[in-house]
Structure 1
């Protein structure tokens, strides 16, 4: 990795943007300002008006925001009859003008409004925050899902891979960003600055994050990595205060032990797969001796699933906390292999994510997360997913096309032996 300053690197990625002059007072309703922005053709006046709208929105309470979203949803909707007429005309004429009319009428006007709102400096962050509010509003007003689809459509374009910038987070990273890493850590809480230092400073620890040029001080998603000699079987060992750090060149396993999304307004826009694969490539380039890339992942719905199966003796024993560690491990393993949701996909969301990205299940461990949350969500069980770089595409295709869950050879043999034993006992 380059040793240039973090901010220096980020500044080189910033796109040139026009700087809007500060917003001035505007007594019109936000509805009227939005309609005026849609009618505006002047770039400078449009940027100032967009800034005024964003400023007004920021001052709104929950009820006012809901009314704003309803305005977007109803008044800036497509006109189905006009669209149907354009399709009919194009079917008869095959004319480019009629084809162009279909494109214009098929897109709700709110999409163009959002594009124009995205002109001032800092507008992208404001719109991401706006979508966070919209996601909450959809929970009580499901009809707003149409507008949410339009937000998601545009955000996927604005945050596509071509715009994302990968940066290593280190102890030298500006404190303002380090504070956000502490805040956004969603898997294994960072308790204080000493805890954060143990995750960033030693040679055998790494952290990487994706940033967007329009939000250079806001991580989108980050992953914490431990460089080890063996595949770990517990998070306690990885995060131990008393472990002896190794030199990076003396390790051969990269462990992705925590992946945290940072922006609630970007929910449904996945960066995780891109992040893991790019970080693996970066690490392999820096440390060619690295041979194994695995996660140490939670199993967040195991306890919930077992509660639904509590009529079975094993589920009841595991839930009660009286089961032997091997019994917990077997319950977790069987859950990952057989528990499905209504669509026939793995019931566990973390499993769906990694298996869908081409990983294979490497090993399952009991007593791997003895924190209060670890015991609550999975009775302490965790799982390693392995990213075998030469097999990622093949595993992905098997999972997507056939629903096959790929297993590492040792785990495959274990499952086969267990199945044989169960048949013999039947």
Structure 2
């Protein structure tokens, strides 16, 4: 019944789409293309959410690459290699130019952004591989045009202060996802002395922070977020501080996921801070480790991609903690009991601190997929050229921090003179920049 309903909706939307876009091709002139863009924008905007999937499928089905035109262009190129622009034009799907035309309409960039958010949400739920393939084609097209629209030259770096527009202040407070704002006094502190909040804005999405970062100016690389966010005003003078700690980075637009705005923001803010506060020489994050606890549970149960962390060294440590000789199976079962219980007391976790820190180092440095860090936050910062600098026990003692990673946090240090080198090593050769603070966890390992 559901598939019959989808087929009916698809036929109806295809008919509407074809009548709206009759005559559209990749040779359509600019003015006429804008008219098609208006028609598509109205059709998409007035469609019910359940029919939009069929609209995306119909776009790919009916307005993809014209194979006849592409073959002709390739034939021309084979005779004259100066005809490559013809191949490029013919190889571009018609719907790509349609999406670009929507972006030229009032509110069009916002609509394309919403479209991509819609597609990404559909991809998470879709089980039909054919439909998934169609959706991915449109997702790639929307991502490419959004990437060009939201390049650094089109973004404006802004500092949030207590005198910023009230609606912008409210949005930043509501969007904050890493360390939620705890009332007015907490928010005031984040914008006060020895603190900064920066965000990117774009003229196509006015008064709307796209990605934001909270920064603490301190004297050394911080190891506890509670120290940064605790009540009361921070003490000291800005000119005495040497370190900028980026303790919260939040993207606000699901449609811009993967566009790399966070990377550009950190580097732009680092450059700005060195101008504003010349004493700042060190730039580091204090980052959460989402997913570590569930990963370790899966790992010990044998369900993770990475080999079990329960090696001879960890078995020995578990035996010492328990005051009895254990084999691998017993050590695994005992450790699982402790870490699987969400009500485990902090004192119990402290007793196995060295084991959890060792396992966390494995998770961040060695648990990989296709050669890249499995942890999304680690992958983000290492790909941006940061160095995995240090693990911090009791870095975040909140319920969320304990539940995600037993309270462990990590510093990713940005050496502005090495970020390009580190980025190239990771993206080209899959080599992570790891400080000896972290590598020391492996010094007694056999491998």
TM range (shorter): 0.7 to 0.9
User: Within the alignment, does 1:57 sit opposite 2:83 as a pair?
Assistant: no
Residue of structure 2 aligned with 1:153, choices 137, 140, 144? 144
Residue of structure 1 aligned with 2:99, choices 110, 114, 133? 114
In structure 2, what is the Cα distance between the partners aligned to 1:50 and 1:403?
42
**How far off its partner does 1:36 sit?**
6.6
More displaced stretch, 77-86 vs 357-366? 77-86
**How far off its partner does 1:108 sit?**
0.7
In structure 1, what is the Cα distance between the partners aligned to 2:21 and 2:197?
41
In structure 1, what is the Cα distance between the partners aligned to 2:96 and 2:30?
18
- 8 A Cα contact 1:207 1:224, kept in partner: yes
Please name the residue that 1:369 is paired with: 396
- 8 A Cα contact 2:283 2:415, kept in partner: yes
- 8 A Cα contact 2:388 2:434, kept in partner: yes
Residue pairs, 1:89-108, within 5 angstroms: 89-94=76-81, 96=83, 99-108=84-93
User: Within the alignment, does 1:32 sit opposite 2:58 as a pair?
Assistant: no
**How far off its partner does 1:89 sit?**
3.1
In structure 2, what is the Cα distance between the partners aligned to 1:166 and 1:237?
27
User: Within the alignment, does 1:408 sit opposite 2:395 as a pair?
Assistant: no
- 8 A Cα contact 2:36 2:98, kept in partner: no
In structure 2, what is the Cα distance between the partners aligned to 1:156 and 1:174?
27
Please name the residue that 2:414 is paired with: 387
Please name the residue that 2:109 is paired with: 124
Please name the residue that 1:196 is paired with: 187
In structure 2, what is the Cα distance between the partners aligned to 1:185 and 1:66?
30
User: Within the alignment, does 1:283 sit opposite 2:269 as a pair?
Assistant: no
| TM-score, scaled to structure 1 | 0.83
Gap runs ≥5 in structure 2: 1-14, 302-309, 311-330
**How far off its partner does 1:55 sit?**
4.2
Q: Do the aligned partners of residues 159 and 234 (structure 1) sit closer, same or farther apart at CA in structure 2, a change above 3 Å counting?
A: same
Gap runs ≥5 in structure 1: 1-27
- 8 A Cα contact 1:227 1:254, kept in partner: yes
More displaced stretch, 332-341 vs 312-321? 312-321
In structure 2, what is the Cα distance between the partners aligned to 1:240 and 1:115?
47
User: Within the alignment, does 1:229 sit opposite 2:204 as a pair?
Assistant: no
- 8 A Cα contact 2:297 2:339, kept in partner: no
| TM-score, scaled to structure 2 | 0.80
